[in-house]
Structure 1
Amino acid sequence: MASEPEKPSDDGKKERSRRPGLAGLFGFASAAAEEEALPAMDLAGGLDRALRRSGAQSKPVETPSPQADNNIREALVAIESALYSIDRVREIVEQAYEVALSAHEAEEPGARALLAESFDELRVSINTVIETVDGRAATLIGKNARQIDVKLGGKAHYSVSPFRLDASSKGLNVTPPRDAFATFEEVNAALDELEAALKKADRAANAYCRDAQFLIARLSSAAAAA
């Protein structure tokens, strides 16, 4: 006989398990299921090799043009800066998840209230990271994030999409614990928000690594053909 699915208890508490270790900046084991896994990549090394190769050529590169070449380099630097900032944001979100999970396991309201304070400090620190990123990363993940259009030469261009990653509803949507985790419903809601935030950060990292792979390949192939 089939067993019935486990239901939340009357106090709103439901089963939660600790998350396995999440992927780092260039690993994608924890990416959302719909995202195709990418191999680990050394973005800084790839960018450095591409720039040194293009700079070592004895004759000018015709495709892309020198201006397009600079556009690609600038976009790659912005992507690299954004990726390192995303890694820091994800680290904070993971810490907040652990705090919320501890609140989920705490029976005493007073203990949950103390954990709610720690949670909110971490939530605010997400905004601090985004507010203090350099202008290159801010272009892609800041509060006024915008698309970067990279001219590749001629009529060809490539677009790098923005991902706003502050804690606001337009970003990662991590809300403050207004009732100090007084109920398990509030704790569960916080855990759900953090899981969604991690997925968005992973989508951003995946997208930017794909962008970087394409642009590095474009820069390298143009240099090799010169």
Structure 2
Amino acid sequence: MAFAINKNSGAQEKRRSPLAGWLGKKNTQSTDEMPAMDVAGGLDRALKNRRAVINENHSDEQENPVREALAAIEAALYAIDRVRDILEQACEVALSAKDVDEAGGRALLAESYDELRLSINEALEKIDPRASVLIGKGQRHIDVTLAGRARYSVSPFRLDVSEKGLDLPPPADAFATYEEIDDILDHLDKALGRADRAAASYCRDAQYLIARMKADLANDAA
């Protein structure tokens, strides 16, 4: 089951999965709620700490590999949030198709789903180049040299709609059968999970790098 991104700054709330009703029909043991994962809150805290660290050392004009990595992570997290919004819209469209009896009506919804699917690639083509390194087609690890000989690697998560990314197939039969809709919903659920795992991983990366940067600054000041 995919996780929810809690965009509220207050207390965490459990968020109903857009796939809840469909999953409930397939498996009565499944829960209708996704575990809350405060990715947005973690991002806000990470960015607040990052800016505080940068302000503490604003006189240092040399490029800092940790700062560069944090900037890439920040851009990637905002891009992931956009991708997830599109995935949730696609879920709603596919779920709506299950309630339509006419093949023509389902075909129109299949077209809407495909437009949303392709818009993910379009969105990724326009993102910050620093984020593209982590979640775009030409992704690569970001290797960060820390104090001493230590190195830290930020892993990429490809999030386009290809099989190597979110693996979202087109509606080849225009939602002609409910089996095709179910298959699309399975892929969407897995895609949501992949996007959430990427966001959670980058929040952990940011927290670690911020802690190392603050420790290095403290050592320099000692």
TM-score normalised over the length of structure 2: 0.80
Equivalent in the alignment of 2:22:
none
Aligned partners of 2:91 and 2:185 also within 8 Å: yes
Q: Which whole-Å CA distance do the structure 2 matches of 1:151 and 1:20 have between them?
A: 33
Equivalent in the alignment of 1:22:
4
Equivalent in the alignment of 1:209:
203
Aligned partners of 1:54 and 1:220 also within 8 Å: no
Q: Which whole-Å CA distance do the structure 2 matches of 1:36 and 1:29 have between them?
A: 5
The structure that is helix-richer by fraction is: 2
Aligned partners of 1:28 and 1:37 also within 8 Å: no
Q: Output the amino acid matched with 1:159.
A: S
Does residue 160 (structure 1) correspond to residue 154 (structure 2)? The answer is yes
Deviation at 1:28, TM superposition (A): 9.9
Aligned partners of 1:163 and 1:171 also within 8 Å: yes
Aligned partners of 1:72 and 1:215 also within 8 Å: yes
**Higher Rg of the two aligned structures:** 1
Deviation at 1:222, TM superposition (A): 2.0
97 and 38 in structure 1: CA distance in 2 versus 1, 3 angstrom threshold: closer
Equivalent in the alignment of 1:75:
69
Aligned partners of 2:72 and 2:130 also within 8 Å: yes
Does residue 51 (structure 1) correspond to residue 33 (structure 2)? The answer is no
Structure ranking higher on relative contact order (CA contacts 8 Å, 6+ apart): 1
Q: Output the amino acid matched with 2:118.
A: V
The 5 Å alignment of 1:156-195 reads 156-195=150-189
211 and 191 in structure 1: CA distance in 2 versus 1, 3 angstrom threshold: same
Deviation at 1:134, TM superposition (A): 1.7
Report how many residues are paired. Answer: 197
Q: Output the amino acid matched with 1:124.
A: L
SS of 1:105 mapped into structure 2:
coil
Q: Which whole-Å CA distance do the structure 2 matches of 1:178 and 1:73 have between them?
A: 44
Deviation at 1:219, TM superposition (A): 1.1
Aligned partners of 2:3 and 2:36 also within 8 Å: no
- Structure 1 residue runs of 5 or longer lacking an equivalent are 1-18, 61-65
Q: Which whole-Å CA distance do the structure 2 matches of 1:147 and 1:24 have between them?
A: 27
46 and 29 in structure 1: CA distance in 2 versus 1, 3 angstrom threshold: farther
* Percent identity over paired residues: 53
RMSD across aligned C-alpha pairs, in angstroms?
Answer: 2.9
